[in-house]
């Protein structure tokens, strides 16, 4: 794993949260709808780090369930990897439960995989690899 690539924050309204975070970081550099994950997202840059805001677009979305249970807040920590396939294999061998068995296409041109938060002391970890 190389570094923290981004932090994901679950929000009720992307429109409202964009206004808040624009005051802190400046305007988002992109917004992107990810139908497969049921989310609308926006991304802010801080040097080589990023903040992703996530709003649910349907009730079955992981973000809708998260907000219902825990309220708005930090949803996941994403780590950049060079080879997501070998990192997934390595973590599986270490006994972690991967929430998807093959990498999914996520926001911001990434292949992604999540690790169950129950096995990582309550933090949802995302692996992400840039799609070349
Ligand atoms: N961080 C920490 N804990 C979390 C969590 C999160 N983001 N989401 C859920 N949990 C907790 C739940 O509160 C629950 O805890 P308790 O047992 O103490 O109540 C536990 O994890 C397991 O919950 P569950 O009922 O088994 O599962 P959920 O239906 O809540 O789903 C999860 C949780 C992580 C398996 C599911 O959200 C998932 O598969 N996530 C991966 C995909 C995803 O998050 N997509 C959205 C982001 C997409 C993007 O970044 O583009």
Other Cβ atoms closer than 10 A to 101: 9
Dihedral of CA atoms 82, 113, 24, 2 in degrees, nearest 10, equals: -20
The token pair at 63 is 């973000």
Predicted confidence pLDDT, tens digits, the chain (132 residues): 899 999 999 999 999 999 999 999 999 999 999 998 999 999 999 988 899 999 999 999 999 999 999 999 999 999 999 999 999 999 999 999 999 999 999 988 999 999 999 999 999 999 999 998
Output DSSP code: residue 24: H
**Which pTM value belongs to this model?**
0.96
Determine the residue of 10, 62, 116 to mutate for testing ligand 1's pocket, defined as the one with the most ligand atoms within 8 A of the Cβ atom.
62
Determine the residue of 41, 117, 123, 126 to mutate for testing ligand 1's pocket, defined as the one with the most ligand atoms within 8 A of the Cβ atom.
117
Q: Whose CA is nearest to atom 42 of ligand 1?
A: 62
Residues 6 or more apart whose CB falls under 8 angstroms from that of 126 comprise 8, 76, 77, 78, 79, 106, 112, 113, 114, 115
Query: In 12-69, which ranges are E strands?
Result: 30-34, 39-46, 49-56
Q: What angle do CA 14, 53, 102 make, to 5 degrees?
A: 125
**Tens digit of each residue's pLDDT (9 = 90 or more) over 96-126:** 999 999 999 998 899 999 999 999 999 999 9
């Amino acid at each position: 794993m190389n570094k923290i690539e981004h932090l994901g924050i679950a929000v009720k309204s992307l429109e409202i949260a964009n206004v808040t975070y624009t005051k802190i970081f400046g305007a988002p550099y992109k917004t992107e709808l990810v139908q497969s994950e049921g989310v609308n997202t926006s991304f802010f840059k801080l040097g080589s780090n990023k903040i992703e805001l996530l709003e649910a677009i349907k009730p079955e979305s992981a973000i809708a369930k998260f907000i219902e249970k825990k309220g708005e807040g930090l949803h996941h920590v994403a780590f950049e990897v060079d080879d997501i396939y070998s990192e997934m294999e390595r973590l599986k061998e270490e006994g972690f439960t991967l929430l998807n068995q093959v990498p999914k296409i996520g926001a911001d041109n990434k292949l992604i995989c999540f690790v169950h938060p129950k096995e990582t002391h309550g933090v949802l970890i995302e692996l992400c690899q840039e799609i070349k």
